[in-house]
């Protein structure tokens, strides 16, 4: 069997969830959209369900997958419904949803659910993606509150730049949210992972951690709170071929690496078709049987190459970690101009196995 695999540490996931709850609002909605950022939504939700206050997903398809797997905790649709017809399924499966636009309020008005809807009314406090403008928010809230089939309402917003510590945009968004929502005395929800980890001045009833649950930091450098996270996913594979090369020999497509000394090159069963980024520089960190090493040459679809010259004990079958417990995914992301979010979500083809149940 191909040695590529992703190990998912569910004990680390629970540790990170507890940290989110300790840092943030009274309750934490575990965001498991996009198949739990590549970690497997059903397995992650099952591992968290005994303690999680609820789950956040991007769309009803993702919510139904969790319900079909027997998850009974509250589930919030973070973008609300995409068409009014979804309201029947929302009712049938007892889902919560975000209201982010006027057309959704019109659709809610026409619905006649047996049990009142729980809605999270989103303010566009400056990200300018989803949510009602500040001048429309109170009227929309009053409209919803006047409907007998709307029950609990949570006031929410989303930060655009909370991962940039010291950027005053987050404070501006917070000030606008407080100004618009202050008198409404609703439960609030503002914090994503960077806000939870980096902005202790933000308080809310419901935080919405995503990335941090998976043990990755949203920040560029070291950070005292983010450094308490435990990585959940370790992607590893094995060496399937070794060759000795003289000086000046090219390795792989495009001769992106040329040996400068007599070298031992190991070929690893992992490529961009598995979600490993194709264009990473020579010297991108990996571990070779647990010791720090270098990726060299261009990443191919199914294989990549590492330099074994300084690893004389390594050879066929040696274990190569691409990211995980030792090579932190946010450090790898910083090396190849992408984000930990993107790397985790991109994982495919690699079978996942779970530990720490
Ligand atoms: C994805 C998402 C989150 C989680 O964000 P992280 O940065 O991964 O913690 C929170 N809120 C909303 C509305 C989201 O779409």
* CATH 2.40.37.10 holds for 233-327: yes
Contact 217, 229 (CB under 8 A): yes
**Rounded distance from Cα 108 to ligand 1 centre (Å):** 24
Q: Which of 75, 79, 151 is CA-nearest to residue 111?
A: 151
Is 301 annotated in some ligand binding site? yes
157 close to ligand 1 (CB < 6 Angstrom): no
Is 129 annotated in some ligand binding site? yes
306 phi and psi, to 5 degrees?
A: -130, 155
Minimal-distance CA residue to ligand 1 atom 12: 78
Atom of ligand 1 nearest to the CA of 78: 13
What CATH class does 10-218 carry?
alpha beta
Q: Where are the alpha helices (DSSP H) in the chain?
A: 10-23, 33-38, 41-48, 60-68, 86-92, 102-110, 134-145, 169-181, 193-198, 329-335, 340-346
**Rounded distance from Cα 317 to ligand 1 centre (Å):** 39
**CATH topology match: 10-218 vs 233-327:** no
Tokens of 249: 């020999």
Contact 315, 322 (CB under 8 A): no
Q: What is the chain's pLDDT, residue by residue, as a tens digit (357 residues)? A: 999 999 999 999 999 999 999 998 789 999 999 999 999 999 999 999 999 999 999 999 999 999 999 999 999 999 999 999 999 999 999 999 999 999 999 999 999 999 999 999 999 999 999 999 999 999 999 999 999 999 999 999 999 999 999 899 999 999 999 999 988 899 999 999 999 999 999 999 999 999 999 999 999 889 999 999 999 999 999 999 999 999 999 999 999 999 999 999 999 999 999 999 999 999 999 999 999 999 999 999 999 999 999 999 999 999 999 999 999 999 999 999 999 999 999 999 999 999 998
Digit-coded pLDDT (tens) for 264-307: 999 999 999 999 999 999 999 999 999 999 999 999 999 999 99
Atom of ligand 1 nearest to the CA of 158: 13
231 close to ligand 1 (CB < 6 Angstrom): no
Q: What pairing do the DSSP bridges indicate for beta strands 291-296 and 284-288?
A: antiparallel
Q: Which one of 17, 33, 37, 122 is the catalytic residue?
A: 33
Angle separating helix axes 169-181 and 134-145, nearest 10 degrees? 40
Q: Is 354 an active-site residue? A: no
The predicted model scores a pTM of: 0.97
For the chain, the domains span: 10-218, 233-327
Digit-coded pLDDT (tens) for 77-100: 999 999 999 999 999 999 999 999
């Amino acid at each position: 069997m191909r040695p590529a695999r992703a190990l998912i540490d569910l004990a680390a996931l629970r540790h990170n969830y507890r940290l989110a709850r300790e840092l943030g609002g009274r309750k934490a909605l575990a965001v498991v959209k996009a198949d739990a950022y590549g970690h497997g939504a059903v397995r992650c939700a099952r591992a968290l369900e005994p303690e999680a206050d609820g789950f956040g997903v991007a769309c009803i398809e993702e919510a139904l997958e969790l319900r079909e797997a027997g998850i009974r905790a509250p589930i919030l649709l973070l973008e609300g419904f995409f068409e009014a017809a979804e309201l029947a399924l929302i009712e049938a499966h007892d889902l919560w949803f975000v209201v982010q636009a006027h057309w959704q309020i019109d659709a809610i008005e026409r619905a006649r659910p047996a049990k009142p809807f729980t809605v999270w009314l989103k303010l566009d406090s400056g990200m300018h993606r989803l949510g009602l403008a500040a001048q429309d928010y109170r009227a929309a809230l009053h409209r919803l509150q006047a409907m007998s089939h709307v029950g609990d309402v949570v006031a929410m917003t989303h930060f655009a730049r909370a991962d940039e510590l010291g950027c005053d945009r987050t404070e501006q968004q917070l000030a606008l949210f407080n100004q618009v929502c202050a008198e409404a005395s609703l439960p609030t929800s503002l914090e994503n992972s960077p806000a939870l980890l980096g902005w202790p001045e933000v308080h809310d009833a419901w935080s919405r951690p995503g990335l941090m649950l998976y043990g990755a930091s949203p920040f560029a450098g070291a950070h005292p709170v983010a450094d308490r996270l435990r990585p959940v996913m370790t992607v590893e594979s094995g060496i399937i071929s070794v060759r000795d090369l003289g000086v000046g020999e090219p390795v792989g497509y495009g001769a992106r690496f040329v040996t400068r000394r007599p070298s031992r090159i190991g070929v690893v069963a992992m490529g961009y078709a598995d979600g490993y980024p194709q264009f990473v520089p020579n010297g991108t960190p990996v571990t070779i049987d647990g010791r720090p090493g270098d990726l060299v040459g261009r990443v191919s679809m199914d294989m990549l190459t590492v330099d074994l010259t300084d690893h004389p004990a390594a050879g066929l079958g040696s274990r190569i970690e691409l990211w995980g417990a030792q090579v932190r995914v946010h450090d790898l992301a910083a090396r190849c101009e992408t984000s930990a979010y993107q790397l985790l979500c991109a994982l495919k083809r690699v079978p996942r196995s779970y530990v720490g149940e």
